[in-house]
Chain A
Amino acid sequence: GESVGLHLPTLSVQEGDNSIINCAYSNSASDYFIWYKQESGKGPQFIIDIRSNMDKRQGQRVTVLLNKTVKHLSLQIAATQPGDSAVYFCAERSGATNKLIFGTGTLLAVQP
């Protein structure tokens, strides 16, 4: 039969607080990582990326941290706003296969 969809992990934060969304990746050969934001009814939207030769990269209000030792990726959003409410996905790519593989996603709910 068909598989049942899983409930997404949810992070609920107050408007103005900082948010931290975590992601564990599986392939130690992955050399490129991306965070995407997906709003309801829309396609994933690129937020920020990082290559494996870096451990931190900053954008506008967002920071990505990479810990290759424990295969962990995080997205930090400063001063979270209601417009940040969405599902956030991390994705990893291995240079050997060039496939982009997505994690299951985290729902960020911003409370006014």
Chain B
Amino acid sequence: NAGVTQTPKFQVLKTGQSMTLQCAQDMNHEYMSWYRQDPGMGLRLIHYSVGAGITDQGEVPNGYNVSRSTTEDFPLRLLSAAPSQTSVYFCASSLNEGAAFFGQGTRLTVV
């Protein structure tokens, strides 16, 4: 039981490049979400999903896409990276009524 696994741990992108941050969980959780955390700040919700095939926007969705084709996986796509997207990204999963469990994060730098 690995919990929530995020890859990669570190990534450097050039402005305008696209990439996908991977997130997988093996706990059969219905609910998955993506957050970004900027220095000295809390976590802000980007997108979330309440089950396979269902996604919705969080507080800061612009510039990001998600899909949920399986219960286990919830990838986050950056369409055209911008320096403002430099941040640490966390994926989380939970049973709908329970606490969210987080991955270890992906540290993204856009130059």
Using a Cβ–Cβ cut-off of 8 Å, how many residues does chain A contribute to the interface with B? 26
Among B38, B98, B100, the one with the most A-chain Cβ atoms within 10 Å of its Cβ is B100
Main secondary structure of the interface of A (DSSP, over half): loop
Query: What's the least CB distance linking B42 to chain A, in Å?
Result: 4
Query: What's the least CB distance linking B95 to chain A, in Å?
Result: 11
**Cβ–Cβ contact B105 & A42, under 8 A:** yes
| A71 is an interface residue with CB less than 8 A from chain B | no
Residues of B within 8 A of A45 (CB): 102
| B12 is an interface residue with CB less than 8 A from chain A | no
**Cβ–Cβ contact B50 & A98, under 8 A:** yes
**Cβ–Cβ contact B84 & A5, under 8 A:** no
Report the bound CA distance from A72 to B40 in whole Å: 22
| Stretch of A11-19, A76-84, A99-107 at the chain-chain interface | A99-107
Report the bound CA distance from A57 to B4 in whole Å: 27
**Cβ–Cβ contact B41 & A104, under 8 A:** yes
**Cβ–Cβ contact A103 & B42, under 8 A:** yes
Report the bound CA distance from A98 to B99 in whole Å: 11
**Cβ–Cβ contact B99 & A104, under 8 A:** no
Residues of B within 8 A of A104 (CB): 41-42
**Cβ–Cβ contact A2 & B83, under 8 A:** yes
| Contact-size category for B | 20 to 34
Q: Which 6 A-B pairs have the closest CB atoms?
A: A43-B102, A5-B40, A5-B39, A102-B42, A102-B43, A104-B42
| B48 is an interface residue with CB less than 8 A from chain A | yes
Residues of A within 8 A of B97 (CB): 32
Residues of A within 8 A of B96 (CB): 98
Contact status of A5 and B43, CB under 8 A, knowing A43-B104, A100-B33, A100-B100: no
Instruction: Scan residues 68-102 of chain B and give those whose CB is less than 8 A from a CB of chain A.
Output: 83-84, 90, 92, 94, 96-102
**Cβ–Cβ contact A43 & B90, under 8 A:** yes
**Contact sample, A vs B, 30 pairs, CB 8 Å cutoff:** A2-B84, A5-B38, A5-B40, A5-B41, A6-B41, A7-B40, A32-B97, A34-B100, A41-B105, A42-B105, A43-B4, A43-B90, A43-B103, A44-B92, A45-B102, A46-B99, A46-B100, A46-B101, A49-B99, A89-B42, A98-B50, A99-B58, A100-B45, A100-B92, A101-B59, A102-B42, A102-B45, A103-B42, A104-B41, A104-B42
